Amino acid sequence: ESFAGTLLLFALPVTLLGCVTPFALRLQTREVNAIGATAGRLYALSTLGSILGVYLTSFVFIQNLGTRRTFLLYSVVLLTISLYALWQRVGIVRALPNAALTALILLLAALSGNNAVKAAPGLLYETESAYNFIQVVQEEGSTLLTINEGQAYQSVYHPNTILLGGYWDLLLVAPYLNSSEPPRSLLIVGLAAGTIAKQFDAVYPGIKMDGVEIDPTIVDIGRKYFEMNEPNLRAYVDDGRAFLRRTDARYDVIAVDAYRQPYIPFHLTTVEFFQQVRAHLSPRGVVAVNAARTPGDDRLVNAIAATMRQTYPTVVLVDHPKKANTLVLASAERVSLDDFRARLAALRDPTLRYAADIVQSEVRVATADEPVFTDDRAPVENLIDAIIFDFAFGDTSK
C-alpha cells in the first residue's frame, strides 16, 4: 500500500525532473562543436546539486525540519524557480494565475501542518526523529509503540498486567537455559520503550538492567508514555555493537531485539557480533535473539541460528504460538534440552509458569548450518525482502 502510494505520487515528477538536464542541454547548445563543454557544465551542476541534495536532506533538513517540512521546502524552491522562469518568458500578468495557485497550495500545506501524517484510532502522539517515524497508540487499555508504519508493535505497556501475550513473555524464562537461579543482570540491545525491562523488573525485582537504544526520541517517549522509570534501569543512547565494544560489563542475559522495521541491522546478525556478545556473558549467561517470521517460513530464523552456532555450542529455538516470532536462545556452555525442560518444570511463580509451559512445548534444538552471516557478507535485508514477498503472494513453501 505504501509502495503503491509512493509510486503514484512520485513517478511522474521524478521522471520529469530526469528530463531537465537533457532538455537544458538542447536549449543551451548553440554550436555543435561546443556541445561537449555545455554538457560538461550542465552535468557538473547536476552532480553538485545531487550531492548537496543528499547531504543537506539527510544531515540538515530532515533532522531539523522533519520530512513534511523538508518536502514543503523543496516544493517551494522548485515552484519559485518555475514561476520566475515563467515570469521571464510570458510576463508578470500571465504568470499571476500560477502564482496564485502556488500561494493557495502553500496556504493549505501550512494549515494542515499540525495534522497527523498517518491518522490512527487511539493515536496519542506522533513525531519524527533522526531515525524513525514514531507513533504511540492507545488500544484496549494498552499503550503501543509503532515505528515506520509497520504491522508490528515495538513496545507494549499495560499498567495492570505483566504478561502481554507476545514473544516478550517467553524471554522471562530464557535465563533458565543455563541455571536454576534467577538472573542478576540483563542487557537489552534494542530497548525501545522498555517492555522487556518492565517485565524483568516485575518478575526479578532489583535486577541490574542496561538498555541500549539508538534513537533518543524513543527513550524519551518510553519515559513519558510507557512508565519506563525503573530505578535499576540505565538507558544508553547508542548503537548496540558500539556499546559492547566500549563496555567491560558481563550479563546473565543479553536480549537482542533491535529492529528498524521490518529489518534487523545487518551488523547485529553476524558471527563477529555474536562473538562480541559471548565476551560479555557471565559464566551462566544466555543470549536471546528475537527473529520475526511468517508461518511456515524459517529462513531468517535458520540464518540467525546457523550464524550463532559458529560461536555457541548450544542453540535452541522457541516459536511463539502465533508463529510471528521465534526466540533463538544460545549458551556458551553445552546444555541438553532435557535439563532445560527440567529447570522450566521446576518453576512455581505463576508468571514464569505461563511462559515455561509454552517454551517447554515449543523448544527445539537448532540444526541449520547455513547461511552464515559475517561482517563481510550479511544479506539480511535481501532475505527479509524475499520472506515478505513470498508471504504477500501466498508462497509459504520455503
Span 214-259, pLDDT tens digits: 999 999 999 999 999 999 999 999 999 999 999 999 999 999 999 8
Strand partners, 18: none
The dihedral formed by the CA atoms of 209, 215, 218 and 219, expressed in degrees to the nearest 10: 40
How confident is the model at residue 214, as a pLDDT?
95
For residues 74 and 83, the answer to whether their CB atoms sit within 8 Å is no
Residue with cell string 484510532: 121
Cα(327)–Cα(257) distance, rounded to whole angstroms?
10
Q: Which three cell numbers stand for residue 68?
A: 513534511
Amino acid (1-letter code) at residue 137: V
How confident is the model at residue 46, as a pLDDT?
84
Nearest by Cα to 253 from 362, 313, 331:
331
Cα(315)–Cα(160) distance, rounded to whole angstroms?
34
Nearest by Cα to 24 from 44, 10, 51, 54:
44
Residue 230: CB atoms within 10 Å: 19
Cα(67)–Cα(82) distance, rounded to whole angstroms?
23
How confident is the model at residue 115, as a pLDDT?
60
Residue 333: CB atoms within 10 Å: 15
Cα(157)–Cα(163) distance, rounded to whole angstroms?
10
Look up residue 327 and give its DSSP letter: E
Distances (CA, A) of 374 to 299, 317, 368: 16, 21, 16
Distances (CA, A) of 211 to 37, 234, 248, 328, 393: 57, 6, 15, 19, 37
Look up residue 183 and give its DSSP letter: P
Cα(208)–Cα(188) distance, rounded to whole angstroms?
11
Nearest by Cα to 179 from 342, 67, 63, 375:
342
Q: Work out the burial of residue 245: count CB atoms within 10 Å of its CB; fewer than 13 is exposed, 13-18 middle, 19 or more buried.
A: exposed
Nearest by Cα to 249 from 267, 234, 230:
234
Strand partners, 325: 292
Cα(104)–Cα(389) distance, rounded to whole angstroms?
41
How confident is the model at residue 349, as a pLDDT?
94
For residues 152 and 190, the answer to whether their CB atoms sit within 8 Å is no
What is the secondary structure of 328-343 as a DSSP string?
A: EEEESS---HHHHHHH
Q: Which three cell numbers stand for residue 130?
A: 533522526
For residues 389 and 262, the answer to whether their CB atoms sit within 8 Å is no
The phi and psi torsions of 86 (rounded to 5 degrees) equal -65, -40
Tens of pLDDT, residue by residue over 90-111, are 888 787 887 888 788 777 777 7
Q: Work out the burial of residue 354: count CB atoms within 10 Å of its CB; fewer than 13 is exposed, 13-18 middle, 19 or more buried.
A: middle
Q: Which three cell numbers stand for residue 136?
A: 504511540
Regions of the chain short of the pLDDT cut 50: none
Give the global pTM.
Answer: 0.81
How confident is the model at residue 162, as a pLDDT?
93
| Residue 374, SS3 per DSSP | coil
